[in-house]
Amino acid sequence: MEQLLLLIFLPLVGAIITAFTGKSAKIVSTVFSVASLVLALVVAGNFIPDASTQFEVNLPWIADLGINFHAGIDGISLLVVLLTNLLVPIIILSSYNHEYKNPAAFYALILFMQTGLLLVFTALDAFLFYIGWEAALIPIYFICAIWGGKDRIRINMKFFVYTIAGSLFMLMGIIYLYLQNPAHNFNIQAFYALNLDSAQQGWIFWAFFIAFAIKMPIFPFHTWQPDTYTAAPAQGTMLLSGIMLKMGIYGVIRWLLPIVPAGVHDWGQLAIILSIIGIVYASLIAFTQKDAKRLVAYSSIAHVGLISAGIFAFNQQGMQGAMVQMLSHGINVVGLFFVLDIIFSRVKTNRIEELGGIAKVAPQLALTFLIIVLGTVALPGTNGFIGEFLLLLGVYNYGIWAAAIAGLTIIFGAVYMLRMYQNVMLGETNSLTITFTDIKGTEKLVLYTICALIIVLGVYPKPVLHLTEASVQHLLEQVNQKLNTVN
Amino acid sequence: MNIIITISITAFIVLYAGLFKANKALLPLTVIGLLTALGFTFSAWNVNAVHFGMMQTDNFALAFSGICIVGTLLIFLLTQNYFHAKSDNIAEYYTLILFALAGMIMMVSYKNMAMLFVGLEIMSVSLYILAGIRKKDFASNEASLKYFLMGAFSTGFLLFGITLIYGATGSFDLDKIQAYLVNNSQTISPIFYPGVILMMIGLSFKVGAAPFHFWTPDVYEGSPSLITTFMSTVVKTAGFAAFLRLFADAFAPLHDFWVAPLMVIVCLTLFIGNVTALFQKNFKRMLAYSSISHAGYLLFSLIVLTKNSGNNVLVYAAAYTFASIIAFAVLILVKQKTGSDSFESFNGLAKRNPFIALCLTVAMLSLAGIPLTAGFIGKYLMFLNVMTEYKTLLVAFAILNALVGFYYYFRVIVAMWFKDGAETELSAPAQYKVVLLVSVAITLVLGIYPAIILNLI
């Protein structure tokens, strides 16, 4: 139990200390983020890969309102916790080629956000989950709005209001469940055990689903995403795409499916249709993008659409695929945005047509970028393949038409990603890219780490699958059992 | 009882100290007086004494008295360099504020409607003068006159309501009125109903709930900022306590009758307050409208009466009071420096003084209702309160209004952190720092660990 508290609050302590460090904030925050990665690995080492919830903490917090500090880790949580604590140091290291003004605040906000994310991923109390959900939002809003690019104020206001609109309706749903719960608390097990009729489950489904759909984002709740990703500072984009959107996916798995299975049964098909529309729509728009950062932003919508379709398909393959793909997508998308950030910091543009020939002057960047792109387009042997294969299998088991459309877009994805790579990296150098310098120092460290992860997880994904298998199976059994009692 | 006596005596001592030009002694005297009164508040806890059948110092009364006294204390600390720059007769300000506070203590602890009226008038008359205290300032005069006319008008409603209820029940006493309603539930006199409505209108005027809110923006804007702080925080809290004491207690058996008009008032208040606040270009006026919208959330506690209604109002009022005190304190500082209270004058404040900017950010997040601040707990309790009867549409409506609220509260955050402004230094005097620190600490503590205040009443 002490391990979990330490895991959650170490970044917060780091944030507070970092806030007072001034110029050395970069180093201090790196130390804390690496320490929390080590801690996460220790927790993973002590984790027994079965379906149980481990490292459980249950402390009274606001006893009069039935609110407890109740958190724990099972296989599903552990995966996203690992992802978070892996990506935060990578993201902090990736900022070494930037000199942000007021660095203490910048790095403190990143670490503060990490605690919020960890709360979301470990909470077993709905109120705590909600607190973490918002605690992760506030720092990222400030990161994007203070250090962001053009028109950042308007864009981030939209992002903020969108997200918080979703979460307030989710809060309404949570209060409703609390009142339905005879024990009057927010315990997740008590919520699982509730007997709600299908009408109740229907509206609770929507109250939660909209919050999660905005976060991921799923069509048609995605309109904030491309602008926000583009206007955010590179590290903000990485946090948003690498970790924050996993909050939505995790929320669906942890809260939506088990609490309102009948709601999912009634509305899941609509969710799959929306996801698939999102995949097609985002892929088509990605084709036409002239800005590489926007292209990656849209490709992210497509990838998340497939993950969400896999979850709502509701079978072992889809669910396991979603698990692996959450990890892979987080790693790959952070890599992509980092490469684009490196390019931007040297030539001050991400417009595809203005670039070209970078591979000639920067072969190491070209190699690592290629590996990341191949991971993103799910080439066999990379991490993206396992996830997408399982997801498609899951969707196929749900409906062949869905798998056909979703599968088609993977081909589209390969086309626009490779075309982007071709136009940016290959061809003749131009006046802009002739002076391009290859990666060095921390850039090398980060990109090679990411590439190593892509290949290792692609060749040997078994540890990840093994980690989550028991928990996923348990979840499916639990939900199916509950579904049978309702019908 | 001791509380009122202490405050009144302090007021007189301060007045005499002013007569002898002992201006330096005023603040220490007032602080000592208020701390003593606060001490009496603590010592009377759980005693639940009834004084001459007129006042009842139950925990409800004491908790609200405590908030009013602490709020007033903080506002007094803000007088540093404020009144001194504006007038010689500062003793009068101190005295009037203290008298108003004495009136408010009566309003939160009355057991008899005559006492409600007396308390309300003591408070209001002091405030009429305070609003117009800058006698050569046109806006201040206008504020005073408007406030007086509207206030007198609303007092008329209130008195008429009290009269009708007296006519129906033969008593001013809250317990007897409630007993009348319980014992004669089938044969309630027809004049009782208009009495309830008239009192509701009168009190809605006082707390600035729509559609009886028209006086608030002009009065808040025209009055000296410090008086506005007082009116929109402490006075409002006392008004709600009075509202609650009457409706959640004496009129509770008639809840089915008065909940419908109340619902209309709540929805109008939320909507008008939020939507109009959105269009303000002036921070002070925005705060005035936002105070209207908060009145709407506060009235949620009366829509569904539970045993926690009083405590919910207490939490919300505390959250709102301390956040508003921060907002107004910063506003005073900024206005002294730039001479303007528009949003633009906050541009780049984070660079000029990060501490002040951080405090104001916490205040705005609290007013907007972001988790880990007291404002969230307040809103949460209000939503929880009406959700117990599954009034989901009302909550959905309130959520939409809260979203509008984010826009205007974040406007000042945006100005402070994301925009560039004049690079002039802005420093806070020591007492301001104390007030800001105390208020921020209360806001965060109540937001992170609200258990300390949840079961007070």
pLDDT for B100-129, tens place per residue?
Answer: 999 999 999 999 999 999 999 999 999 999
Report the candidate in A120, A69, A72, A142 with the shortest Cα–Cα distance to residue B448.
A69
Q: How confident is the model at residue B83 (pLDDT cuts 50, 70, 90)?
A: low
CA distances from B191 to A192, A207, B143 (A): 52, 45, 35
Q: Kindly provide the b/e burial profile for residues B93-104, where b requires at least 16 CB atoms within 10 angstroms of the residue's own CB.
A: bbbbbbbbbbbb
Task: Give the DSSP per-residue string, B13-25.
Answer: HHHHHHHTT-HHH
pLDDT at A97: 83
Q: Measured between beta carbons, which residues in chain A are less than 8 angstroms from residue B371? A: 130-131, 134-135
Instruction: Measure CA of the first residue to CA of the last residue in chain A; give whole Å.
Output: 38
Res B314: pLDDT: 93
Q: Residue B400's closest chain A neighbor by CA?
A: A165
Task: List Cβ neighbours of B256 (8 Å cut-off, separation of 6 or more).
Answer: none
A134 interfaces chain B, CB cutoff of 8 Å: yes
Give the separation between CA A230 and CA A299, rounded to whole angstroms: 13
Phi/psi of residue A318, nearest 5 degrees: -60, -45
Instruction: Find all residues with CB under 8 Å of B166, minimum gap 6, and list them.
Output: B113, B172
Q: How far is A102 from chain B (nearest CA, A)?
A: 10
Chain A residue with the nearest C-alpha to that of B397: A169
B187 vs A: CB within 8 A? no
CB A117 within 8 A of CB A249: no
At B304 the three-state DSSP class reads coil
Q: Is the pLDDT of residue B437 over 90?
A: yes
Residue of chain B nearest A132, judged by CA positions = B371
pLDDT computed for residue A29 by the predictor: 92
B355 and chain A: CB distance < 8 Å anywhere? Answer: no
Roughly what angle, to the nearest 10 degrees, separates helices A442-459 and A363-376?
40
- Using a CB-CB cut-off of 8 Å, the residues of chain A touching B455 are 64
Query: Does residue B81 have a pLDDT over 80?
Result: no
- Residue B352 and residue B416: Cα distance in Å, rounded? 9
For B251-266, the pLDDT digits (tens) are 999 988 999 999 999 9
Residues of B in contact with A109 (CB under 8 A): none
A166/A211 Cα distance (integer angstroms): 4
Helix/strand/coil (H, E, C) string of chain A? CHHHHHHHHHHHHHHHHHHCCHHHHHHHHHHHHHHHHHHHHHHHHHCCCCCCCEEEEEEEEEHHHCEEEEEEECHHHHHHHHHHHHHHHHHHHHHHHCCCCCHHHHHHHHHHHHHHHHHHHHECEHHHHHHHHHHHHHHHHHHHHHHCCCCHHHHHHHHHHHHHHHHHHHHHHHHHHHHHCCCCCCEHHHHHCCCCCHHHHHHHHHHHHHHHHHHCCCCCCCCCHHHHHHHCCHHHHHHHHHHHHHHHHHHHHHHHHHHCHHHHHHHHHHHHHHHHHHHHHHHHHHHHCCEHHHHHHHHHHHHHHHHHHHHHHCCHHHHHHHHHHHHHHHHHHHHHHHHHHHHHHHHCCCEHHHCCCHHHHCHHHHHHHHHHHHHHCCCCCCHHHHHHHHHHHHHHHHCHHHHHHHHHHHHHHHHHHHHHHHHHHCCCCCCCCCCCCCCCCHHHHHHHHHHHHHHHHHHCCHHHHHHHHHHHHHHHHHHHHHHHHHC
The DSSP symbol for B57 reads E
Examine the pLDDT at B203 and tell me if it is beyond 70: yes
Domain boundaries, chain A: 278-487
Cβ contacts of B419 on chain A, cutoff 8 Å: 153
Instruction: Please tell me the total count of domains within chain B.
Output: 1
Residues in chain A with CB shorter than 8 Å from the CB of B407 are 157, 161
What confidence tens digit (pLDDT) does each residue in B327-376 have?
999 999 988 888 888 888 888 888 888 899 999 999 999 999 999 999 99
| One pLDDT digit (tens) per residue for chain A, 487 residues | 688 999 999 999 999 999 888 788 889 999 999 999 999 999 999 888 888 888 989 999 988 888 999 999 999 999 999 999 999 999 999 988 888 888 888 999 999 999 999 999 999 999 999 999 999 999 999 999 888 888 888 888 999 999 999 999 999 999 999 999 888 889 998 998 888 888 888 989 999 999 999 998 898 888 898 889 888 898 999 999 999 999 999 999 999 999 998 888 889 889 999 999 999 999 999 988 899 999 999 999 999 999 999 999 888 899 999 999 999 999 999 999 999 999 998 888 888 888 888 888 888 999 999 999 999 998 888 988 988 999 999 999 988 988 998 888 788 889 999 999 998 888 888 888 888 888 888 888 999 999 999 999 999 988 888 888 889 999 999 888 888 876 5
From the CA of A173, how many Å to the nearest CA of chain B?
10
Interface of B with A in 378-417 (CB under 8 A): 380, 383-384, 387-388, 390, 392, 395-396, 399, 402-403, 406-407, 410, 414, 417
**A280 inside 8 A of chain B by CB:** no
Q: Using CA coordinates, name the residue in chain A closest to B393.
A: A172
Contact B219, B143 (CB under 8 A): yes
Cβ–Cβ < 8 Å for B147, B233: no
| 3-state secondary structure (DSSP) of residue B423 | coil
Question: The domain containing residue B144 runs over which residues?
Answer: 2-454
Q: Which of A12, A16, A20, A65 should one mutate to test binding to chain B, selecting the residue with the greatest count of B CBs within 10 A?
A: A65
- Cα separation, B294 vs B273, in Å, equals 8
Given a cut of 60, whether residue B86 has pLDDT beyond it is no
Q: A135 touching B, CB under 8 A?
A: yes
Question: pLDDT, tens digit, for every residue of A144-197?
Answer: 988 888 888 888 899 999 999 999 999 999 999 999 988 888 999 899 888 888
- Ramachandran region, residue A48 (left: φ > 0; alpha: ψ -120 to 50; beta: rest): beta
> Could you read off the pLDDT of A290-341 as tens digits, one per residue?
999 999 999 999 999 999 999 998 888 999 999 999 999 999 999 999 999 9
Whole-complex ipTM: 0.90
Q: Tell me, what's the pLDDT at B84?
A: 60
| Residue-level pLDDT at B421 | 76
**Chain B residue numbers touching A15 (CB-CB < 8 A):** none
Strand partners for A68? A60
Q: Is B16 on the interface with A (CB under 8 A)?
A: no
Tell whether B160 is within 8 A of chain A (Cβ).
Answer: no
Q: Does B372 touch chain A (CB under 8 A)?
A: yes
- Interchain proximity A62–B417, CB inside 8 Å: no
Tell whether the torsion through CA atoms of B47, B53, B56 and B57 is positive or negative.
negative
